[in-house]
Amino acid sequence: MSSDPELVPAHPKSPRRSSPSKRSRVPPSPISIPSFPLSNTIGDEPADPPSPVPTEIIDVEAEDFVRTAQSYGVKVRDYAVELPTPPLPKVPEMWKNSFFTLLAHDMHIRRPKDPSFFVSGRILRRLLDTGFVTQEEADAYWTREDHKSLEEYDKRPYGPYPYVIGFRRPKPTAAYRVSARKAVYGEPRRGDIPDKHFKVPNDGTWGGDAESQRLEKQARDNRMKALRLGMPVPVLGLDPCPPPREPSPNPALPATPIATPPLLPTSLPEDTATLRSSSGLLGSSSRANISTPTTPTAPPTPTTPTSPPTAVAPLPSSSSRRLGRTTTMQTIIVR
């Protein structure tokens, strides 16, 4: 009997299992999940009714926090209830030209249904404060919406917004207001309330007709002066700007014109045209434009050499450009 050990392979192969055929495969049975009753009752006993007392959450109230903070000297404010006070005064608004605002008001009372001449409560309050519109005019010619808008503006938390007048002028008379309004907005249209239904009371806040006549004469003189000088004509009756200036007696001399060469020459010498067309330097369109002169050209006259320019040539542009044929390339003779 041999004493040699039996040799066992290092990686024995697992026996090959035969896979069942498609016909022998059986679908798995469905999984049955047990259902439990949703009732918490045990047996046939009914459920207890809900408690009539609401659930009480033991928590610290907001008032307790406020009292605790105030006891330590902390100032507590409720911004949801209290109105905030501005830390700094408001910057006054610039009212550039009160006279234009008065003209817009005069158009508004003549066309109360036109939305383009709507006047807000802020403007109505300022016209009353400056005296351009009296309370008698407001009671007689303002609509119910105008009075409501003014009342809402006056009831603001901090009152009317402060303002400063940029261009002060005296209160105009009734005749001056009519002439200025027609100069700016044109003649009355069909449907406008006629001027005879409006009366401007003499409340003593304006200087009289002398001031209006002086302003009208100044505006008329500036208009005629601008027409003589060929300058834009200012609007008659609204001329706060200075009169136009006379032209300067020593105008600047015009620059010396410099002739520039044409982009493409109209004709070339016969030998140059032949060489360039035979060498293929020019395209077909350029060969068609070249024609030999029918009459002999005069020889060029010698010119004295000029000194080179002292100006520095501009640097080439860094942007990419498409190369094109220039006049310098067309005058080069190919040998």
Cα–Cα distance measured from residue 109 to residue 131, given in angstroms and rounded to the nearest whole number:
17
Give pLDDT, residue 166: 84
The domain ranges of the chain are 93-210
The count of C-alpha atoms lying within 13 angstroms of the C-alpha of 39, restricted to the half-sphere facing its C-beta, is 8
Give pLDDT, residue 150: 94
What is the per-residue pLDDT across 113-125, written as a single tens digit (0 to 9) for each?
Answer: 888 889 999 999 9
Give pLDDT, residue 71: 92
Question: In Å, what is the CA distance from 206 to each residue of 203, 241, 334?
Answer: 8, 22, 90
Helix axes 121-130, 98-110, angle to 10 degrees: 120
Give pLDDT, residue 212: 59
Name residues of the chain where pLDDT drops below 70.
1-26, 34-44, 60, 81-88, 201-213, 215-216, 232-335
What is the per-residue pLDDT across 90-112, written as a single tens digit (0 to 9) for each?
Answer: 889 999 888 889 999 999 999 98
Give pLDDT, residue 285: 44
Give pLDDT, residue 227: 83
